[in-house]
Each structure stands twice: as structure tokens, then as C-alpha cells.
Amino acid sequence: MAKKILLVDDDRFILQLICRALGAKGFSCRTAKSVHEALGLLYDEIPDIVLSDYSMPEIDGFEFRKVLLRDKRYKNIPFVFYTSFADEDTMQKGLEMQAVDYIDKNTPVHLVVSKLNNILDTIRKQHEKSLFEIGAAAEALNLRSVPLAAPTIEGFKLQFLYQTYNHYPGGDFIDFIKTDENTVFVILGDVMGKKWGAWFFSFNFLSYIRSAIRLCVFDGISSPASILNKINRIVCLDPVLGDVLSTLSLMMIDQSASKVYYAGAGDLPVIHFSKADGNIACVQSAGLLLGIMENGLYQEDVLEMHTGDQLIAITDGMIDFMTETGKTSDYTLFVRKLERILGQSDTYKEIKDQMFSATEDESVVDDRSIVIIEKI
Amino acid sequence: MIEITGFSNYHIATIMIAEANMEQADVFKHELITEMDSGKKQILISFENVQYIDSSFLGALVASLKYALTIGGDLAVYGLNENILNLFEMIRMDKVFKVFKTVPASYEDGWIAG
């Protein structure tokens, strides 16, 4: 994806010159002749970096920087000063305002481009390093929102795919709980919210869900709708989860009866492929997102599974994608893509190759999860 | 983020962005709650300008509704494009929010009953 830069300078010639050079190097460049104009552009779209002149009429670059620092939407955008008077005091003042660097206007244009590239590259590397360290810490604490592998159950094949978005963990969570040789609960959910926040809360939700399933099974309850109801009541009462909401697809595989009991909370319809007639049915659950209200209206569907039948559960990242006109969500398109894949000898591999391949990455806008249950 | 206008006996809050996403969710919620705190308790949220909504923004929308209900207010939505309407129906947000295809004549006009 092209790196987005916002260039702010009252000199139209400089704007054109730099913009052309940046454009030739693959940057997507937006220009503003004043701070007022720049703020309008920022409101529409957050760039990867801002390059701003110091000296401008009305509001200067320093004031612009102050405005950005006061606004939490903008304060973390890397900011570089671009100026013709690079005396030490001015430089110092700029750097004290958390500008990542300054560039002298006498610098040849190709070097300006290289310097911006270097800055973005350094930021990206630091960011990846931080993500890696947090990931390593989570691993050490055995915090996982996605398991290492699916369990085995006779007569069924359980598989899943999960992909972070831009290396950020998100709100998606997956788990499998095998309560006896005959029964596996499949959990797929998505906590709504911000990257790190959603990731953090996914552990809270998973803990509740795991406990509720175990406790219910101890008490002889195995109905996913009843379990969902209990989970939802706990979530609604937990002040820590206050405004945090989550989807959940909860499926109980009954191996001996060759059935899957399914209940959902604000989740996307589960796709049921029937091998015998090649039919695909989208099974929409009835329940509300976890945490909205105490009566979540949960209901259960019983899905008969014959040899070769498949069930596909997904999170919204699978149906969200980037188009030329912006982001969009299209469940129908996703199902249409699946039609060509379901029922093949290795559906998992086909989904992995076709939907989780590198070429798909450009259009991906969220973390993505898919669980595949197949009767064998 | 939102522009609010009085209409009949309620208010319409028009979302002014095309992509209602994670970056915008907190600001949206803050602005909406500020309006409700200033006494505008029944608000119809217009999605006419919105092309895409992500789950974070949906979360902010529901959180705002929960707040509205605690202060005796109410929120409904209007002007959803086809994809967003499908998404609302698919994840049962249409059971949480009253979804209007046209602007109701008054708060009592199909809103409360919804």
C-alpha cells in the first residue's frame, strides 16, 4: 500500500516539486497551503507522516504541531519539520515538540525522499520490535487468543486459520474444548474495539466462555444456547467489560449423533455445505452480541452432518475488504468465493491458498478467522 | 464527526465521514454522549454519508445506545447503505436498533413501538 504523506507549505512551487518526487517513489501525497487546509485533510484521512514548513502566514508550523499534539487522533502521526532557516534554536524548538526530525529546504529533493523513507522505515521497525516483544511476553504468560492446534475427534476433522492484521493482534479468538471423547465445543468470537484493547479483552471473554462451558457440562447442560445465555449474563454484569461487546459462534459437536448444535451471538451466519446435493445454506443464529442486554435471545440450530458435509464459521474480517472506493463488507461475495472451494478434497488448503495468500493481503482490513468443521 | 439538527420532536445526528472506523469510534461516542447530556435525548443517527462501518464503530454505537437508555433517551439509525443494512441484519443489530428507511415524522411515529 502506498505510504501516505501530508505536505504543508505556503509555497505552491515547493509543494509541487516535493509531491512529484514523492509520487515517483510510490508515495501518495496530499498537499495543503495552510495549517487550516491541512487540518481539513487530516480530518478526512490520517497520513503515515506529516512534513510541514515552520514559517507560514497566519498559523506557523510550531502552532500546527501544538494543535496536533493536543489531539489524540493526530498526536502520534510522525511529524517532520521542513524549513529553510535551520538555526540551532529553531531546530531545538522543533525537536522538543516531539518532531521526529527536521529537513533543511536546501536538501536535494531525492535526498528528502530518501530521508522520509528512512524515517518511516525506522518507525516501522521499532513498531514491529514492540509488537514482537509484547507477543513474546504474552507467549511466556501462556496468553493465547488462538490455540496452537485443533483437537482430534473421531469422525470429524477440525481446522482453523487465523491471520493478524498488519501484525496487530485483534479481537478475534478461537478455542476448542473437548469435554469427553464424544464432544467438542468450538468457540469463535470477535471482541469489538481497538486493536490492543480488543486483544486484551479477548482473554476476558475466553476465560468466561471456557469456565461457562466447563461448569455447564459439570451440571449436565450441553446446549450452546443455554451456555451462551449464561455467558451473556455474566458479561452484562461485569463492570470491567462495561462497553465491551463480542460476537460468539458456539458449536457443540456430538460425534456419536453426527450432529452439530449451534448458537450464535451477533455472529455472521455459519455456512453449511451438504456433500450429497452440493447445497450451501447460510445458517443465521438469533442471538444478540454478548454484553448488550441480559436477554440475548439465544436460540439453537441442530445441524445434521453427513460424510463430506462441512461447516464454516467466520469473523467479520473475512468479509471486509478494500475496494477502489474504500472499505466495504460483503458476506454474499465471500460465500460466492467459497462455493468454488467447498466440497473439494482439501478445502482447508484451498481456503488457505486462495484467501490467506499474500496477494489477498492488500485488500485485507482486519484480523481474520475461519473455522472449518468437516464430517469424515 | 456528527452534525446535529433538530427535527420534529427529536434530533438527527448526521455522521459526516464515509468510513466509520476504529480511529473515529471514540470521538463519535464522545460527541453523541455530549449531545445527549445537553438534553437531546432522542437522536436519529443518519448514516447517509457512511460507506463502511467496522466493528469498533458498531461497538461505540451500541455503547452510546446503552448510555442513552440509562438516561431515559433513545437512539435509532437511518440511511444505511445496502451493505451496512445487510450487516446490521446479519449480526442482529436490527434487533438492537430501530432501523428507519425514511425519516420518521415524529419520535412517536414508529420509533417507540420499534
Residue of A nearest to B67 (CA): A243
CA distance A191 to A199: 8
Residue B41 lies inside a defined structural domain of this protein:
yes
Tens-digit pLDDT profile for residues A40-98: 999 878 899 999 998 888 888 889 999 999 888 888 899 998 887 666 777 777 777 78
CATH fold for the domain made of A4-138: Rossmann fold (3.40.50)
Best of B24, B90, B93, B94 to substitute, by most chain A Cβ atoms within 10 angstroms, is B90
User: Taking residues B10-17, what's their average pLDDT?
Assistant: 95
The structure's pTM equals 0.76
**Which stretch of A51-65, A89-103, A209-223, B70-84 has the lowest confidence by average pLDDT?**
A89-103
Above 90 in pLDDT, residue B40?
yes
Give yes or no for a contact between A252 and A221, defined as CB atoms under 8 angstroms apart. Answer: no
- Residue in A73, A247, A332 closest to B91 by CB: A247
Residue of A6, A5, A11 lying closest to A84 (CA atoms): A11
**Which stretch of A118-132, A216-230, A248-262, B45-59 has the lowest confidence by average pLDDT?**
A118-132
| Average pLDDT taken over every residue of chain A | 88
Q: Is A208 helix (H, G, I), strand (E, B) or coil?
A: helix
Tens-digit pLDDT profile for residues A190-212: 998 766 778 888 888 999 999 99
Given pLDDT bands bounded at 50, 70 and 90, which one contains residue B113?
very low
- Residue in A46, A192, A331 closest to B59 by CB: A192
User: Taking residues A98-119, what's their average pLDDT?
Assistant: 86
Question: Could you give the C-alpha distances from A166 to A45, A103, B32, in angstroms and in order?
Answer: 18, 29, 30
Question: Could you give the C-alpha distances from A289 to A231, B78, B90, in angstroms and in order?
Answer: 11, 21, 11
To the nearest whole angstrom, how far is the Cα of A256 from the nearest Cα of chain B? Answer: 31
Q: In one letter, which amino acid is B110?
A: G
CA distance B90 to A313: 13
Residue B108 lies inside a defined structural domain of this protein:
no
Question: Strands, DSSP E only, in A2-46?
Answer: 4-8, 28-32
What pLDDT shows up at residue B112?
60
* Strands B74-78 vs B52-53: parallel, antiparallel or unpaired: unpaired
| Average pLDDT taken over every residue of chain B | 90
What pLDDT shows up at residue A371?
98
Measured CB to CB, residues of chain A less than 8 Å from chain B are 44, 46, 73, 171, 190, 192-195, 198, 243-245, 247, 266-269, 284, 286-289, 292, 297, 316, 320, 325-332, 365-366
Q: In one letter, which amino acid is A244?
A: V
Given pLDDT bands bounded at 50, 70 and 90, which one contains residue A367?
confident
Above 60 in pLDDT, residue A360?
no
Above 70 in pLDDT, residue B46?
yes
What pLDDT shows up at residue A65?
92
Give yes or no for a contact between A135 and A354, defined as CB atoms under 8 angstroms apart. Answer: no
**Which stretch of A140-144, A219-223, B59-63 has the lowest confidence by average pLDDT?**
A140-144
Given pLDDT bands bounded at 50, 70 and 90, which one contains residue B74?
very high
Chain A residues with beta carbon closer than 8 angstroms to that of B81: none
Residue B111 lies inside a defined structural domain of this protein:
no
Residue B105 lies inside a defined structural domain of this protein:
no
CATH fold for the domain made of A144-375: Phosphatase 2c; domain 1 (3.60.40)
> Which CATH number characterizes residue B91's domain?
3.30.750.24
Q: Is A230 helix (H, G, I), strand (E, B) or coil?
A: helix
What pLDDT shows up at residue A32?
94
Chain A residues with beta carbon closer than 8 angstroms to that of B52: 320, 326-329
Q: Which residue has the higher pLDDT, B36 or A123?
A: B36
* Residue-number span of the structural domain to which B77 is assigned: 2-100
- Residue in A46, A194, A284 closest to B56 by CB: A194
CA distance A340 to A263: 27
Q: Which residue has the higher pLDDT, A162 or A98?
A: A162
Best of B15, B22, B55, B96 to substitute, by most chain A Cβ atoms within 10 angstroms, is B55
Give yes or no for a contact between B111 and B76, defined as CB atoms under 8 angstroms apart. Answer: yes
Residue of A nearest to B62 (CA): A292
Above 70 in pLDDT, residue B114?
no
- Domain locations in chain A as residue ranges: 4-138, 144-375
Above 80 in pLDDT, residue A358?
no
Whether residue A325 and residue B51 make contact (CB cut-off 8 A), yes or no, is yes
**ipTM exceeds 0.90:** no
**Which stretch of A280-284, B20-24, B58-62 has the lowest confidence by average pLDDT?**
B20-24
Residue B109 lies inside a defined structural domain of this protein:
no
B31 and chain A: CB distance < 8 Å anywhere? no
Grid cell for residue B84: 451496512
- Residue in B27, B84, B90 closest to A268 by CB: B90
